[in-house]
Amino acid sequence: MLERYFVRPETIDQIRASWIGELIEQYVSSMAERGYADRSVYRRVPVLMRFGEFAKDRGADRWDKLPEHVEAFVAAWLENRATHHTANARRKVYNDVRGLVVQMIAIVVPGLHGKHRVGRADPFRDRAPGFFAYLREERGLRESSIRGYRFHLRLFEAYLGRLGCHDLAALSPPILAGFVTETASILGWKSLIGICSAVRTFLRYLHCEGLLARDLSHAIQVPQRYRLAALPRSIGWDEVRRMLEVVDRRTIVGRRDYAILLLLVTYGLRGREIAALGLDDLDWKHDRLLVPERKANHTTAYPLSPIVGEAILAYLRDGRPKTTDRHVFFRHLAPPQPLTDSAVSGRASHYLHEAGVAVYRAGSHTLRHACVQRLVDAGLPFNTIGNYVGHSSVSSTQIYTKIATEALREVALGDGEAL
């Protein structure tokens, strides 16, 4: 397979002479099977060769030892080649280099998956080894929720490390208060609520397992969030049209994204609901769109709008990769994998910025809010709107009454008598 990409025999000999040469060749074959562009192979093989030498110099003599050296290699790569980069550029280099090394290792190291974070074990794995199994098996949390716990508890673990507090039995209310105070100074209130909730759950678990003498979860004071205090991130329908107009439907990505954006603004779907859509959810015979496993634990059947149906068909006929996977929307670059909910939100954010629409935290929920707001402005009952967009409670819909868009516009453009 190497002969397909490298013309000079000495280059191929050099690769095969490496102690991980066989591993690299397996990886190249895997990339070819999954449709990677030739330039991706040319770019990745030299990096993998350097990683092999780096790991060997650090004492690695077996393939199953490679994961232990990933983080150190990426750190050395950044130190040598990205010293003068901006923070965002360094983060991109980190993700690119680390991602391709992890991807190669996943081929031969048993039990390692492409999305697994090599070198980043679960926080508190040694001191509370059963916590994440408890979240998964006893509380039944989704993997996306468990990832949030990992992120939040890594911050808590790092804070304790800076304090030199390595014994969980030594935790106290002042230590916990210091963590909340420090975290509040760098994160928004929504992120702070998530962190506080995760740490409280963790503390309750420690107490139940006998790792803490008393339950300290009450020492974590979650910031007060008042009902209907926030405003929805809604935009007007003129801004929605402007966003749709900037999509270039002549390209594969444009056809895919146009269908996604129409689903967001027409039905108010969540990003994860669009990412989970399958071909079996499109009932062409009865012109219906099925959205299963919504937040309110029910399936919604929508009439399939002709405009939305045509957009989806355009992508399915000329854009969607040929695959046995039943998901509707796929990433454009190799390997062909279904879009994630974060990717759906990222595409919405991209086109909102391209259209010059100024909105706080632009993303898929911005368009969901726009859909709900339009239904509220049309005077539909809250229960009807909530059922349409999959709200689990009518209170989730009531917040939109705080924005009387058309009424406020009339007041602003009138002569003041309406006041």
> pLDDT digits over 351-365, tens only?
999 999 988 778 998
What mean pLDDT value characterizes the chain?
Answer: 85
* pLDDT > 70 in the chain, percent: 85
> Which one of 69, 255, 270, 272 is the catalytic residue?
270
Tell me the mean pLDDT in the region 191-200: 89
* CA 348 – CA 394 distance, rounded (Å): 26
> Which one of 44, 98, 256, 365 is the catalytic residue?
365
Give CA angle at 51 (47, 52), nearest 5°.
Answer: 120
* CA 90 – CA 72 distance, rounded (Å): 15
Tokens of 248: 């270039």
Q: Where in the chain is CATH 1.10.150?
A: 131-219
Is 129 buried (19+), middle (13-18) or exposed (0-12) by CB count in 10 A? exposed
Is 162 buried (19+), middle (13-18) or exposed (0-12) by CB count in 10 A? exposed
Whether residue 365 lies in the annotated active site: yes
Tokens of 20: 């991980």
Q: Regarding the domain with residue range 237-412, which homologous superfamily does it belong to in the CATH classification?
A: Intergrase catalytic core (1.10.443.10)
Whether residue 298 lies in the annotated active site: no
> pLDDT digits over 296-314, tens only?
556 789 999 999 999 999 9
Q: Where in the chain is CATH 1.10.443.10?
A: 237-412
Whether residue 58 lies in the annotated active site: no
> Which one of 159, 258, 267, 400 is the catalytic residue?
400
pLDDT at 173: 93
pLDDT at 418: 45
> Which one of 295, 327, 331, 350 is the catalytic residue?
295
pLDDT category of residue 91 using cuts at 50, 70 and 90: confident
Q: Identify whether the C-beta of residue 305 lies closer than 8 Å to the C-beta of residue 296.
A: no
Whether residue 152 lies in the annotated active site: no
Q: Model-level pTM greater than 0.85? A: no
**Domain covering 131-219: architecture:** Orthogonal Bundle (1.10)
